Every structure is written in C-alpha cells, then in structure tokens.
Structure 1
Amino acid sequence: MLLVFLILLVGSVISQCIATKDQTTCSHPAKGNPKFPSNFTFGVATAAYQIEGAWNIDGKGPSIWDDFTHNYPHMIDDRTTGDIAADSYHRFNQDLKALKELKVTHYRFSISWSRIYPTGDISSRNQKGIDYYNGVIDKLLANGIQPMVTMFHFDLPFELQKIGGLANPLIINYFVTYATELFENYGDRVKSWVTLNEPLLYCKSGYGEANYPPQIEGAGIIDYLCMDHSLKAHAAVYRVYKSRFYNRQHGKVGIALDSQFSLSNDSAVVNRAMQYNLGFFAHPLFSKSGGYPKILVEEIAENSLKEGRIESRLPDLSGKWKHIIKGAADFVGINYYTSRYVVRAKTPNGKNPSLERDYDLDEISDPKWTRGLSRWLYCVPEGMESILKFIRDEYDNVEVIITENGYSDKGDLNDLDRIHYLKSHLQAVLNAINDGCNVRGYIYWSLIDNFEWQRGYSVKFGLYSVNMSSPAKERTPKKSAEYYRRIIETHSIPDDI
C-alpha cells in the first residue's frame, strides 16, 4: 500500500517502461535539439583490478582486492578472482581494437597503485609498472584516443591497509606522493585525471558495512573517517597539480562521485537525500559555502550527543581544510546507474550508529521500472536528467562528465535491453544539455565484460563480450557496441535499434 500511495503522490511515472512477454524496454522523451554539441565527447571505461589480471607479475604488489578474493572467496558470488580477468595487461591490443571500432574520443581506465608502488610507498617504486602504463597511453594517443586516467579505483595497496588504510590520515600524504609520480610520468600526455572513484561507496562498503575489503565494521564512525580522508586526499592532490604541474601540463583534475537521484514530491526530502548522497563530497567541493552540508553537520552532531559522545562522529572540517577543499576540482564525474523514490523512514534504519540511521529515509523502487541483472539496477533515465539539473542549480553549473553509466545482463550478444538503457539515458543527458546543464562528455561502463567486484563474472556490463574460458580471451562486439558507435559517429541518438 505504501508503494501505491507513493507513486500516486509523486504523480508521474518517471521512466516510460513497456513490459511485454518477450522484451522489456525503457524510454525517455526527447526535448530540444536532437544533436549533441560538436565538442561533446564519448568514451568507455574500465578499471585495473577488473580487467588487467597479471596480479603478481612484473613487480606488482598485492592490493586489498587481491587479499579479499584470495582469502575470502565466499564473499564473491561465483568464487572467482581478478587474478587473470580479461588479461588486459597482456592483451591491451585487443582492447585497443575494440576502442577503435567504437570510434570513442576518450578511454577512461585506472592505474593500479600497487603496480606503480607495490607497497604503496615511494620506496618500492616499480619501473616495469610505470612502463606498462606509458605503453597504454602512447598507443591510445597514436590512435587518436584521449586517455582519462583514474588514480584510485578501489584497489588500495595491501601494505597500506596494515597501517589502517583510508582510516589513517597519513593516507593523504601517501596518495599525494603516488599522484605526483603519475603527474611526473604521464602528465605531459594525460590531460584528464580522476583522483578517486566512488569514495562514498568504497568507504561505506569497506569501512562501514564490511562488504568490501578491508571488511571493517565501523558504520557511522570509521566510514566517515574514510570519507573525510578521501576528500582531503583528493583536494591535496588537486592543489599539488595546480601549483606544480598545471602551468606546463594544462590538464584537468576531477573526482568521480556515485549518486542516484532521489525522487519525491517533497522538495525537503529530495534535498535531504541528495545531501547525504551526492552532497557528502560535492558540497565541500562545489557549493558556495563549502564544508559538509549543513544538514549533515547538524544532525550527525545531534545524533552523536544522543549516543553519549563528546563530539560528532562526522569529522570537523577546519577553516584551513575547508579552504583547501572548496573549488578543488575542474569537473565532477558522475557515476549514475539508477534512482529511487524516497520517504521519511517510519522506523529507524540500520545499525546505531550508521550512515543509514543518520540518513533516516526509506528508498522504494517502482515495479514498472525495467531492472538489470544486478538487483539494485533499475532503468530510471529521468533520474539522470534530474541529477544533472540538480548539479546545475546547486553547484553553479560546474562542468560535468558522466564517468560511468551502464546496464547489466547475462551477457547476450543481442543485448536489446542494454540498447534501450543506453538510448534512454543518453536522451536524458541530451535533454539536460538542452536545458542549460554544463555536461561535456559521456563514458559508458564498460568497454568489456569484466570482474564486477562481489558479483564476480556473474553479471555483464560490457559492450564487448570476453570469452573467459579461452586462453586468448577473445573480445566479441555485442549489438550495443554497434549502436553506441552510431551515436558517436552521428552525435545523435538513432531511433532504430
């Protein structure tokens, strides 16, 4: 009954979904100019642990994900690892062939910190790792593809976790040293940098709920420390780039934030939900006032006092750090996959303390929404358009790049549901651009099927299938690859699929 009431309350169906016996589709209405701007960029993304393999080759040290998959195999749905994955370390030329076929302008990939510094520290500097990524970057540029490099995509060097990992404020200095190494080696050619990927997710899952490595159960306390240190590490790297490298390298440095859009007829509920999600990192970086969102500061402090604590569980951003962080990004990367309806919670959620308890909202999906194979992933393109408009209005229309957006299935080559998802979400992006949103590029997740964290290889996001049972790991284009190539070639969204 609550769901029915909520749908009536919201008063509109956000994604126009049509269910049939044979196929489920999801669409989004077009508004305005049917073509993307001529300078709009298109790309695809991957991440080191998910595709490279070669986990202990050429001097690479172990990451926390190596330790996790090796020692806790029951935490992975199919009990697999990223030890070999798509073997992109040895087969990058196969990935390059796919990139050229797609005709993308950008390739977003991550660098494995423990391949550059096997222990995470500069004392372990590994020239073979540095050389590997030089080769990747040079091949991309030789084929007219711009690299977008992510510095950290979940795979923290295992040795750094021995001193607390992202819960230790020393991680800020370690990350700055590592980032400086990357700027010095690759900054002459790399003009687009992403410091951190989805810090809200890896902190909550790894340092709060213990679902991801390092499996720390510190909900509402240690995950907040992880978020605080991640934010400061990002800002410190940005300031180093601007002071030491920008004048000769002229690149951009941003951060990739994961967020759904929260749907409700109550604007106060929407704002609350967005501040606890996107706002956790975006508000300190892009708002006019800086610092953590006021609602977080006040409510977490109040909750902490009720729990008998002498100070807030949310770390305080001092005047110095607030100043360093504010404006410390040239763009915001948005990893958008899905959305939910939200209402105020009827009863307290989650453990006490926890982010869920502080959040104090219930999230509800619409049974009409198309769902991917991932149980959390619903096709809600209206949420994509809405989050871009939220950023336009809340953060002074900062430059946005969609750094991830994708759909999961079982891996069929005739992947019509992925095409419908891709078509509807790109239409949402185009609508937002037509409505004045400063969106400069779109990057699909993912180029190839890969190791999807706790889901292992049981779900597929790729435009290209990978034959994991073959030593050659052949890449085969899906129907969605051809559709995406047509979008890139025409800078428009084809009606036919």
Structure 2
Amino acid sequence: MAMSNGKAFAPNEDTATLNRSSFPAGFIFGTATSAYQIEGAANEGGRKPCIWDTFSQCPGKIKDGSSGNVACDSYHRYKEDVGIMKDIGFEAYRFSISWSRVLPDGKLSGGVNKEGISYYNNLINELIANGLEPFVTLFHWDLPQTLEDEYGGFLSPKVVEDFRDYADLCYKEFGDRVKHWITLNEPWTFTNNGYATGHFAPGRCSQWQQKNCDSGDSGTEPYLVSHHSLLAHAAAVQVYRKKYQAASDWLFIYPNGIRELLLYTKRKYNNPIIYITENGMDETNDETLSLEEALADNHRVDYYHQHLSSIQSAIEEGVDVRGYFAWSLLDNFEWDLGYSVRFGINYVDYKDGLKRYPKLSAKCCKAITPTQDTASLNRSSFPAGFIFGTASSAYQYEGAANGGGRGPSIWDTFTQRYPGKIMDGSNGNMAVDSYHRYKEDVGIIKDTGFDAYRFSISWSRLLPHGKLSGGVNEEGIRYYNNLINELVANGIQPFVTLFHWDLPQALEDEYGGFLSPRIADDFRDYADLCYREFGDRVKHWITLNEPWTFSIGGYAMGQFAPGRCSEWQHRNCTGGDSGIEPYLVSHHQLLAHAAAVQVYKQKYQASQKGKIGITLVSLWVVPFSDAKHHHNAAERALDFILNASYFTDFLVNLTAERNGVPIGAKAASDWLYVYPRGIQDLLLYTKRKYNNPTIYITENGIDEMNNGTLSLKEALADNVRIDYYHRHLSFLQRAIKDGVDVRGYFAWSLLDNFEWYIGYSVRFGINYVDFNDGLKRYPKFSATWFKNFLKK
C-alpha cells in the first residue's frame, strides 16, 4: 500500500515552523492514559472490580463487546510502556490510578491493597527513573464497584468521603514523587454518559432513553452525580492542600484547551500556569487492516500537528502553557466504545499478546527529519519547565478488573451487563493490562521522552466497596505505589486523577453514586487515602476527570456508565431522568471535588507541596454563522460548559459545520473533528475570561479506526496523528506566546486502549497495542515523532 505523508507535513502558514523549539523552554510534552483503558490485570494484584468492569460485562454496552480486563496490560508491561514514552521523547506521562486497585472495596475501611500501591509506586518510580514526570489522575471514571453497590457511587454524597480518603491515600503513598494531581477526569463526561445516556459505566439512564439501562433517571441523576463529583473533587483538593501541599496559587488543570481557551483562561484567570493533560484523536479499530495499514495514522499526525500549532500560537500570545500530554500512548479500552476505537500513538495488537507497535505518529514524534514545517517546533519552542506528558485512565488501561482485590466499578457493570452499549461489545476487564505491564509502559513513556504521566486511580481498586468502612485494598495501594515509584525512578512526574468515571459499583448500588450527596464524603475519604498513600511522590492531583462528560454521558444520554437517561432518549436505558439527573450529578461532583480539595489543602498540601485541580472537558465553540445571535449563542455555550479537555470544536447547534462547511477532518470517532486553531482560540478565550489561570492540557489526541486488515507496519504509520499533534502544539505555542499560562500538555493516549462506549474499535494511542498478540506494544510513527520532538 502506498503511503503519503503529504497531509501531515505539507507546508502551510499554520505549521511551517512547528517543532519542539517552537514552544517555550521547559514546556512539557507528555502522553496520557487512564487505568481502566490501559492497565488490564482487572482481576490481579488485589484489585477488585470497578464500575467499568461491571459495565463492560453487560452484553451490548460496549460497542465491540470487549472490556478492560486485559486492556494493554500496562499493569505488567508498564516498563515497556515507559520505555516507549522515553524513546519517543515525552517528558511526562499522565495516567490515572485505579481506585479499586488501591482500595479494592473503595474505602479505607475495606483495606488498602498493598499490591496496588506497589504497582503505582513501581510505575511512578519507573517514570521518574526515565526522566518522565508523572501527572496522576485520581478518578478516570473507574469507580470501585463496591461503592456503586453499597450506596450507588456518585449518586450518593457518601462518595465524597470515600474519594477524599482514596485521594488522601494516593497523596500519602505517591505524593513525594507525584507533583501534578488531577482529582477527576472530565466529570461532565462521566456524569452525562454514565447517568444520562447510559453509554458509560455505571450505565444508568431513564427508560425513555431506550439505552437498555437497568435503572436511572436521566433528568435527575446526572445532576446528583455532578454535584457529588464536585464535592468529591473539593474534598480531594482540600485534603491535599491541608495535609500535603504548601501554600501556593490555585492550579487549573485544563486538558486540551487550545488557543482560544488558553487565551480566554489567560484573560479570565490572570494567566495561570497551564498543563494540557490530554489531547488526542482516535480511529476505528478496523480489524480488516493489516498491521502496516493500522500503523499509518496520518490523520493522527495531522491532528497533533494542528493542535500543537494552535498551542504554540497561544503560547506566543502569552499564555503560560507549561506542558502538553498526548492522549494516548497506547491504544486501549475506550470506555463504552471498548476496543472498537484506538487513541494511541502506539498500536496495541490485542490478538498477539498486546504487543506494542509505533504508529506513524509515534515514529514521526521520535525521528522526524527537519522540514520546512517542523524544523523549528520542538521542546525548546516551549517555556522552560513546560511539562510534556501522556495520559491514561484506570479503566481504559489497567485491566485486572477482577484481580488484586479490586472491586467492580460502574464501568465494569455497564460493560458486562450491557455489552450492546459498547460499539464492539468489549470491556475494560483486561484493557491493555497496564496493571501488570506498568513497568513496560513506564519504559515506553521514558523512552519517548515524556516528563510526566497522567493516570487515574481506580477508586474500586483502592476501596473495593467505595468507602473506607469497606476496607482499603492493600494490593491496590501497592500497585499504585509501584506505578508511581516506577515513574519517579524513571524521572517521570505522576499526574494523578482521582476519578476518571469509574465509580465503585458498591456506591452506585448503595445510594446511586453521584446521584446522592453522600458521594462527597466517600470521595473525600478516597481522596484522603490517595493523598496519604501517594502524596509524598504525587505532586499533581486531579480530583475529577471531565465531570460534564460524566454527567451528560452517564445521566443524560446513557452512553457512559452508569448508563442512565430518560425514556424519550430511546437509548435503552434502564432508568434515569435526563432532565434532572445530570444537574444533580454535576452538583454532587462539585461537592466531591470541593471535599477532595479541602482535605488535601487542610491535611497534605503544606507537607507534600503538591498542586490540585480538576480536569474539565474543553470544547471550543464556534458560531454556526456570522449572525449576531449565533455569536451570542456561542458565548453563552462557553459560559455554560467551559471545561478543560480539548479534542475538537463544536458549533453551538451541535453540528460540525460552519456555514455548511465542515470545520475540519473527521476522526474515527463520530464526535471528533480536527480543528487545531480551536486550541489556541480556546486558550486565549480562557485567558481573557478567567484572568489567565494556570492551565495543564491533560488530554489531546486523535484516533484512527482499529482496522484489523492493516499489517503491523501499516498500523504504525499514523501520519495523521503526527500532523494532528504538530499543528495543535503549534497553536498551543502561539497561545503561550500570547501570554496564556499553560504549564503542561498531555498527549492522549500513551497506548491504544478501551475507548469507553467505542470499545477497541478505535485507537488513540501513540503506541500500538496488539490486542491479538498478548497486548504487545509497538511505537507508532507518532511516538517516534514525539521522541524526536522531545529531545533536549
């Protein structure tokens, strides 16, 4: 098959000078994952199920019928994966801690899993030893199933205390090495998809959604879960600040906010430090592709290229962006999409031992030759100290859903009970097995050159029952300690997300998870546990990942766990109220966030000297036309859902066109269109609107279809991903030059993984995971491109 790099490297006015040097000195480039999507080892190392384990086992919930049980097997192969990151040249790795790997029953009272702590310590040490800075997400949607079962997870305010304890544990165990924490990954996504549409774990929605949800209320639960997510976030932040972090300015974790958002943030928040903790794109996991074809991710090259260009532009406009994390290092379990999509810059061969193969986007990252449009964009183009990392989340990466004392999360329930909800019917039971392969994965991160790794902790891996009273899973604690230690030992900063949508099923069952204000206390306890256990090494905490996504996806649309929505959605949800629940969930997410923040600030921040924030999904809104009312609508939309995960742009009427013309190339995922300029516009808007806050772009990436007909060589040639990162980094750099305070950028994702309701049908990783061959990792061209880009 003839392969052309023309699109990825064609000179144009936006990308002619894009490379590492286009960004300020110290700018961090990283890649991103999440525990369930990449770790695998779902039933190993003391981990108990998270909601994604449960969810992915529900027939029809995952597009390809898969799960994150094995995922990319990063639990066992983290060293390989860290090596991939190091080889690419990333400076950071954003990963999430599997709550149920650290606290299998979801709470301290259920016991701390020392194997889980050990795993994350090993991962963090491996990252640090390889010069990669860990960016750790505490919650990337993989709530311990025990908490879902006990009180409904984030439907209950009890989750706040459990999350606080979990966060406290993470701070305590890993905070000495992890200096960038993310409490929650995109709580909106978790709330919306898990409780409104039922697409994500725990798969709750109203009957009128027709999403085959067992129960839920799409009109009420998303709001409860959002509320409890915020309370859990606050609790995790509070415990970090109080116990571990020295007094410092507020940290805004801004995943994937590109130019206008960076500029807006600079204006609005007085130009804070920003890390882009996720940025990536997926493609469909097309099994008809040969490996060679699957590696040719030209669209991902284009996606990263354009987004980096936008970031570069924002930096040039003064935005203080310090780092960028590509999502994801590896193809992995992509939540309700299972393994039907691939986000990685490295291809994971799911049919051959999860072997990793670099896609074109990985290779171009590592060894891009000087050309007119890339000669001047590299690490030195970003400010000194800027963090580059990669990102993951526990349910998408870890696997080991039933191992290591982990309790089920709502995504376990959602994917296993409703496999039809996942595009390929898959789940995160194995995912990319990062639970067992974390050393391999840390090795990938280090080899790429990332400074940091953003990952989420599986709540139900630490607290299998979601709360301290259910016992702390020592195996889970050990796993995350091992991961964090591995990261730190390899010079990689852990950025830890406390909640990346995988609420313990026990909490969902007990009181409806984030539908109940009880979630705030359980989340606070969980966060407290994480801070206490990991905070000596983890210096960057994220309370909640994209709460808007969690609320809408889980409670309005029913596409995400817990899969709740109203009947009129016709999404086969078993319960929910799309008009009420997303707001309740959002409110409770805020309460949980506040509780997690409070406990951090009160108990840990002074001693651990870390930072804590929240990851918000960042959508740049473009007026549908130049009509005044469309411009006004765009402004209102930004004010309503200003968030912090940047993948694409939306027009205010939710089309992908402007004046009838598509805004950019479409990625494998239906929702993802490539519009790199949007990252600069969004960053600049954020600067203006919020007085230039500190921003970390915690996710940024592009996917390609998981085409099984491609040869390995073809699958690794992800030129589109290279172009994507290149252009986005260029615009990010511009935003920084414009004064936006972006401190870091995380590429989504380190590995192909379980991509939520798309399963393994697409690949987001900059490293290929061979799902057919032992989850072997192979650097895609984008990983190689990053490695070259990140060379110091």
Question: If the length of structure 2 is used for normalisation, what is the TM-score?
Answer: 0.49
User: Residue type of the partner of 2:515?
Assistant: A
Partner Cα separation in structure 2 for residue 146 and residue 484 of structure 1: 17
SS of corresponding position for 2:385:
coil
Whichever of the two has the greater Rg, that structure is: 1
Matches within 5 A, 1:423-438: 423-438=726-741
Match of 1:275 in 2: 639
Whose RCO is larger (CA < 8 A, sep 6+)? 2
Match of 1:495 in 2: none
Partner Cα separation in structure 1 for residue 663 and residue 480 of structure 2: 44
User: 1:15 touches 1:369 (CA, 8 Å); kept in 2?
Assistant: no
Match of 1:489 in 2: 791
The answer to whether residue 472 in structure 2 is matched with residue 177 in structure 1 is no
Match of 1:37 in 2: 383
The answer to whether residue 549 in structure 2 is matched with residue 257 in structure 1 is no
Matches within 5 A, 1:367-406: 367=662, 369-406=664-701
Partner Cα separation in structure 2 for residue 131 and residue 414 of structure 1: 37
Partner Cα separation in structure 1 for residue 388 and residue 424 of structure 2: 32
Matches within 5 A, 1:33-432: 35-123=381-469, 124-162=471-509, 163-217=511-565, 218-264=577-623, 265=626, 266=628, 267-278=631-642, 334-342=644-652, 361-365=653-657, 366-367=661-662, 369-411=664-706, 412-432=715-735
- Residues 119-174 of structure 1 show CA distances to partners (whole Å, capped at 9, x for unaligned) of 10112211111111011111111111110000000100001001111010000001
User: 2:428 touches 2:754 (CA, 8 Å); kept in 1?
Assistant: yes
User: 2:455 touches 2:496 (CA, 8 Å); kept in 1?
Assistant: yes
Q: CA deviation at 1:23?
A: 7.0
Q: Which runs of 5+ in 2 are unaligned?
A: 1-12, 16-296, 318-375, 566-576, 707-714
User: 1:80 touches 1:456 (CA, 8 Å); kept in 2?
Assistant: yes
User: Residue type of the partner of 1:153?
Assistant: H
User: Residue type of the partner of 2:584?
Assistant: L
- Residues 209-242 of structure 1 show CA distances to partners (whole Å, capped at 9, x for unaligned) of 2222222222121110000110111112112111
User: Residue type of the partner of 2:493?
Assistant: Q
Question: Of 750, 759, 769, which residue of structure 2 is paired with 1:456?
Answer: 759
Partner Cα separation in structure 2 for residue 418 and residue 231 of structure 1: 34
- Residues 394-423 of structure 1 show CA distances to partners (whole Å, capped at 9, x for unaligned) of 111010000001001035210011111101
Partner Cα separation in structure 1 for residue 781 and residue 581 of structure 2: 44
User: 1:152 touches 1:197 (CA, 8 Å); kept in 2?
Assistant: yes
User: Residue type of the partner of 1:167?
Assistant: L
User: 1:110 touches 1:153 (CA, 8 Å); kept in 2?
Assistant: yes
SS of corresponding position for 1:210:
coil
Partner Cα separation in structure 2 for residue 215 and residue 42 of structure 1: 34
Q: Which 4+ stretches in 1 moved above 6 angstroms? A: none
Q: Which runs of 5+ in 1 are unaligned?
A: 1-13, 17-21, 283-333, 343-360, 491-497
Q: CA deviation at 1:368?
A: 5.8
- Residues 21-59 of structure 1 show CA distances to partners (whole Å, capped at 9, x for unaligned) of x97756458755961112111000011111111111121
User: Residue type of the partner of 1:197?
Assistant: N
- Residues 313-359 of structure 1 show CA distances to partners (whole Å, capped at 9, x for unaligned) of xxxxxxxxxxxxxxxxxxxxx310000233xxxxxxxxxxxxxxxxx
Partner Cα separation in structure 2 for residue 170 and residue 154 of structure 1: 17
Instruction: Give the count of matched residue pairs.
Output: 400
Match of 1:478 in 2: 780
SS of corresponding position for 2:613:
strand
User: 2:298 touches 2:723 (CA, 8 Å); kept in 1?
Assistant: no
**Residues 362 and 116 of structure 1, relative CA distance in 2, 3 Å threshold:** closer
The answer to whether residue 744 in structure 2 is matched with residue 441 in structure 1 is yes
Q: CA deviation at 1:259?
A: 2.2
SS of corresponding position for 1:454:
strand
SS of corresponding position for 2:536:
coil
Match of 2:114 in 1: none
Q: Which is worse superposed, 455-464 or 80-89? A: 80-89
User: Residue type of the partner of 2:595?
Assistant: A
User: 1:15 touches 1:380 (CA, 8 Å); kept in 2?
Assistant: no
Partner Cα separation in structure 2 for residue 384 and residue 133 of structure 1: 32
User: Residue type of the partner of 1:244?
Assistant: K
SS of corresponding position for 1:418:
helix
Partner Cα separation in structure 2 for residue 47 and residue 76 of structure 1: 17
- Residues 453-477 of structure 1 show CA distances to partners (whole Å, capped at 9, x for unaligned) of 1111000000100111123x21000
User: Residue type of the partner of 1:84?
Assistant: M
Partner Cα separation in structure 2 for residue 183 and residue 243 of structure 1: 11
Partner Cα separation in structure 1 for residue 540 and residue 489 of structure 2: 17
User: 2:519 touches 2:592 (CA, 8 Å); kept in 1?
Assistant: yes
SS of corresponding position for 2:420:
helix
Partner Cα separation in structure 2 for residue 256 and residue 105 of structure 1: 19
Greater share of strand: 2
User: 1:447 touches 1:463 (CA, 8 Å); kept in 2?
Assistant: yes
User: 1:15 touches 1:381 (CA, 8 Å); kept in 2?
Assistant: no
**Root mean square deviation of aligned Cα:** 2.1
SS of corresponding position for 1:440:
strand
User: Residue type of the partner of 1:393?
Assistant: R
Q: Which is worse superposed, 24-33 or 243-252? A: 24-33
Partner Cα separation in structure 1 for residue 450 and residue 559 of structure 2: 34
Partner Cα separation in structure 2 for residue 106 and residue 46 of structure 1: 11
Partner Cα separation in structure 1 for residue 723 and residue 737 of structure 2: 21
- Residues 1-21 of structure 1 show CA distances to partners (whole Å, capped at 9, x for unaligned) of xxxxxxxxxxxxx989xxxxx
User: Residue type of the partner of 1:199?
Assistant: P
Partner Cα separation in structure 1 for residue 562 and residue 446 of structure 2: 37
Partner Cα separation in structure 2 for residue 160 and residue 135 of structure 1: 27
Question: If the length of structure 1 is used for normalisation, what is the TM-score?
Answer: 0.77
**Residues 23 and 84 of structure 1, relative CA distance in 2, 3 Å threshold:** closer
Q: CA deviation at 1:270?
A: 2.2
SS of corresponding position for 2:498:
strand
User: 2:495 touches 2:538 (CA, 8 Å); kept in 1?
Assistant: yes
